[in-house]
Amino acid sequence: MPSGSKRRKSDRQIDFQTVLDGIAKAVKGDLKKGRVATYIPALARVPKSKFAMAVLCNDGRQAACGDADEAFSIQSVSKVFTLTMALRAEGTSLWRRVGREPSGNRFNSLIQLEYELGIPRNPLINAGAHVVTDSVVNRDPNGKQAILDHVRRLAGNKKIKFDEEVARSERAAGHWNAAIANFLKAHGNLKSDVDRVLDAYFHQCSIAMSCRDLVRAGSFLANRGVDQRTGERITTVRESKRINAVMMTCGLYDAVGSFAYRVGIPAKSGVGGGILGIIPGFLAVAVWSPGLDATGNSLAGVKALELFTTRIHKSVF
């Protein structure tokens, strides 16, 4: 077992601050290459030069670099948190309303949804996220606030809030999502009113938090369901593994396979340029860089995570 011992020892010896600082330097030239999301003004005006990264280990070590305390729009990363809520409340019966297979399509495609009669392929594409949000708001008259409270608690930061300008803009520009939600309703797969689901959905997407907030909020997924800071159990061991599995196969839109190949860890990205990654049993890592690649994922963010798993010699593979 020498190799195992060596690796484990080296896990403890990794100097994360040095690693992150090195990555920040290495991706500097890539920040300009991506394209910032422009469908709403509040996202369009975020400078491409922004970059942040944060790490939180199960053993309490942490590190951060760049704009790691600056809040950004987490967008689809929020889907992991609402999925956690819905799974806890509804259990596995949630899977009758939404699948857990990769879509092989863009995040917002309606094609598959039609062929599969209104059952979205997985909870991390837009259609599936509408179903998950519906599951939350249908149980809780105050569902929108409950989502925010859940994220605040996970991150241990009561100041996290909706960016109302973003939520409003998303709503105004959100015809594609309105099409999806109406389509789900037409197939009987939304219980609440379309407008109520859309309002909660656009708000959860508008949640603004920093990379440092994000690794805290996601660390239970690295730590077998237990909040690393408080010791509180957020999900069962099994649930946390399952959420990681869903992220692994469905978390990066149509670049799931490429991300697994290059980076090799469960992760969820958002169109605001953020990505939350998990090395199960070891750490949570978050990165933020607003420039996106052709698949809608942060271009420099993916590269930073690739460098991260390469340099610390850790991935799930």
List strands edge to edge, sheet with 62-66.
62-66, 52-57, 283-288, 274-279, 267-269
The stretch near a copy of itself (CB under 8 A) out of 45-53, 80-88, 113-121, 155-163 is 113-121
Question: Tokens at residue 115, please?
Answer: 């062929």
CB neighbour class for 187 (10 Å; exposed up to 12, middle 13-18, buried from 19): middle
Instruction: Give ∠ CA 253-264-105 in degrees, rounded to 5.
Output: 15
Residue 61 binding a copy of itself, by CB under 8 A: no
Residue 157 binding a copy of itself, by CB under 8 A: no
Question: Tokens at residue 237, please?
Answer: 């061991």
Q: Taking CB under 8 A as the rule, which mask of x and - marks residues 14-43 in contact with a copy of itself?
A: ------------------------------
Residue 178 binding a copy of itself, by CB under 8 A: yes
The count of other CB atoms within 10 Å of the CB of residue 312 is 19
Residue among 102, 120, 218, 270 that touches a copy of itself (CB under 8 A): 102
The phi, psi pair for 112, rounded to 5°, reads -60, -40
Residue 45 binding a copy of itself, by CB under 8 A: no
Residue among 33, 61, 88, 100 that touches a copy of itself (CB under 8 A): 100
Give residues with Cβ within 8 angstroms of 92, minimum separation 6: none
Residue among 15, 59, 164, 232 that touches a copy of itself (CB under 8 A): 59
Residue 103 binding a copy of itself, by CB under 8 A: yes
For the chain, what is the total number of helices (H) and then of strands (E)?
Answer: 14, 8
CB contact at 8 A, 158 and 152: yes
Residue 266 binding a copy of itself, by CB under 8 A: yes
Q: Output the smallest distance, CB 258 to a copy of itself, in A.
A: 6
Q: Site size for a copy of itself, by CB under 8 A?
A: 57
Site for a copy of itself in 281-300 (CB under 8 A): 281
Residue 105 binding a copy of itself, by CB under 8 A: yes
Q: Using the minimum distance from each CB to a copy of itself, give the nearer residue, 102 or 143.
A: 102
Site for a copy of itself in 226-265 (CB under 8 A): 240-242, 244-246, 248-250, 254-258, 260-261, 264
Question: Tokens at residue 12, please?
Answer: 């403890």
Residue 195 binding a copy of itself, by CB under 8 A: no
| 161, β-bridge pairs | 208
User: 161-162 and 72-73 as β-strands: parallel, antiparallel, unpaired?
Assistant: unpaired
Question: Tokens at residue 207, please?
Answer: 């949640």
Residue 315 binding a copy of itself, by CB under 8 A: yes
Residue 117 binding a copy of itself, by CB under 8 A: no
Instruction: Give residue for tokens 């959860």.
Output: 204
The phi, psi pair for 179, rounded to 5°, reads -60, -45
Question: Tokens at residue 6, please?
Answer: 């060596």
Binding site for a copy of itself (CB under 8 A): 1, 3-4, 7-8, 12, 59, 99-105, 109-112, 114-115, 121-122, 175-176, 178-183, 185-186, 194, 224, 240-242, 244-246, 248-250, 254-258, 260-261, 264, 266, 280-281, 315-317
